[in-house]
């Protein structure tokens, strides 16, 4: 079986592994501000909503294992924000530092271009690990702000760093 990473859209059969990857981050860190991990049903519903909006939800497989996932969701629900999305990228803990996050983020950015997105926003928990900020900077994102002490998880206040990528597609 090939160990070369393969990027593709999420399929129903992937939801169990996506759920497990995310549950790890809910339980062990502050990369997400969720405190209770969503179940497979919640992930299936979320994926359905993302795809219904025309946005990408991608996974990267290594062999027969989902090694990470990424997607874009509406930045805010109000209609004037319809051309702005927030990206999300998670790589399985045992698959980090192999370029999979970059592969996923580039795939999401390309999917956003195809969907007519103008702006991609990253909201990154500042936990002291520079990996997410570096990932986004390498993809062309620029830091545009910081929100201080907006999350409280595992007994600590957490800032978020806001990064933005303009896809500059024009008016519609």
Helical residues (DSSP H) of the chain, grouped into ranges: 15-28, 40-52, 100-114, 131-138
pLDDT at 13: 96
131 neighbors 91 (Cβ within 8 angstroms): no
**Per-residue pLDDT tens over the stretch 67-103:** 999 999 999 999 999 999 999 999 999 998 989 999 9
pLDDT at 129: 86
Give the residue with greater pLDDT, 10 vs 172. Answer: 10
* Cα 70 to Cα 132: distance, rounded to the nearest angstrom: 13
pTM: 0.94
DSSP, collapsed to helix, strand or coil, labels residue 54 as: coil
pLDDT at 170: 56
CA dihedral 88, 112, 84, 144 (to 10 degrees): 60
* Cα 144 to Cα 21: distance, rounded to the nearest angstrom: 29
Is pLDDT of 1 > 60?
A: no
**Per-residue pLDDT tens over the stretch 7-55:** 999 999 999 999 999 999 999 989 999 999 999 999 999 999 999 999 9
Pick the CATH number of 6-166 from 3.40.630.30, 1.20.1250.20, 3.20.20.140, 3.40.630.10: 3.40.630.30
pLDDT at 2: 59
Is pLDDT of 172 > 80?
A: no
Domain ranges of the chain: 6-166
């Amino acid at each position: 079986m090939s160990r070369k990473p393969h990027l593709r859209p999420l399929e129903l059969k992937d939801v169990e592994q996506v759920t497990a990857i995310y549950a790890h981050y809910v339980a062990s860190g502050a990369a997400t501000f969720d405190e209770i991990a969503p179940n497979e049903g919640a992930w299936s519903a979320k994926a359905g909503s993302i795809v219904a909006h025309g946005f990408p939800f991608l996974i990267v497989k290594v062999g027969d294992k989902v090694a990470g996932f990424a997607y874009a969701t509406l930045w805010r629900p109000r209609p004037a924000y319809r051309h702005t999305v927030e990206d999300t990228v998670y790589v399985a803990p045992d698959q980090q530092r192999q370029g999979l996050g970059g592969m996923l983020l580039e795939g999401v950015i390309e999917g956003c271009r195809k969907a007519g997105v103008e702006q991609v926003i990253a909201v990154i928990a500042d936990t002291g690990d520079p990996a997410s900020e570096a990932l986004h900077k390498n993809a062309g994102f620029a830091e545009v702000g910081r929100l201080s002490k907006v999350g409280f998880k595992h007994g600590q206040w957490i800032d978020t760093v806001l990064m933005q990528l303009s896809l500059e597609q024009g008016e519609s």
